[in-house]
Structures are given as structure tokens and as C-alpha cells.
Amino acid sequence: MASTEEIRTGLAEIVNEITGVPADDVQLDKSFTDDLDIDSLSMVEVVVAAEEKFGVKIPDEEVKNLATVGDAVSYIEKAGS
């Protein structure tokens, strides 16, 4: 399974591709909506891309619980183990 940093880096690349946010700005403590200014439509794209990249399923009801990059990394770590 990928390390926390590998997952964060992968998510950063996804966020950068979809939203144009610099990958270096995508840190564990950053909020997707407040800090990275990602809207709900872009968040859906990020989730779909993350599911494909990491081979996990993120149910719609879980997406609302992924407020920060760290939340998403933790979820992917648990889902992939």
C-alpha cells in the first residue's frame, strides 16, 4: 500500500490537473473548500480520479466527510488496506 506521502502527492497531482491549484499547496492540513477553493463539482472529479488512481471506492456519503486533504489521505489509506 502507498505511504501517506505517496497518497498526498498523488492527490496533489489530481487536484492540480483538475483545478489548477499548485500541487505544492495541497498539504494534509488544507481544506478542499476553504483553503484550496475546490467546488463540489470539481470535488466529484477529484474523488473519481482518486478512486481510479488508488483502486479504492469512496461512497458519495463519505465524500462530505473528506473536508481536508488529510481526511482524504486517511480514508484512502484505510480503504486500500
Give the domain CATH number at 70. 1.10.1200.10
Long-range contacts of 74-79 (CB under 8 A, 24+ apart): 76/2, 76/7, 76/11, 76/50, 77/1, 77/2, 77/4, 77/7, 79/54
Residue 19's pLDDT is: 97
Is 60 a catalytic site residue?
no
The band of 47, judged by pLDDT with boundaries at 50, 70 and 90, is: very high
The conformational region for residue 56 under phi > 0 = left, psi -120 to 50 = alpha, else beta, is beta
Residue 10 CA to residue 76 CA, distance in Å, equals 11
The one catalytic residue among 25, 34, 37, 39: 39
Instruction: Please give the tally of structural domains in the chain.
Output: 1
What is the value of pTM for the model shown? 0.93
Structural domain harbouring 13: 4-80
Q: Confidence class of residue 29 from pLDDT cuts 50, 70 and 90?
A: very high
CA 38 to CA 46: how far, in whole Å? 9
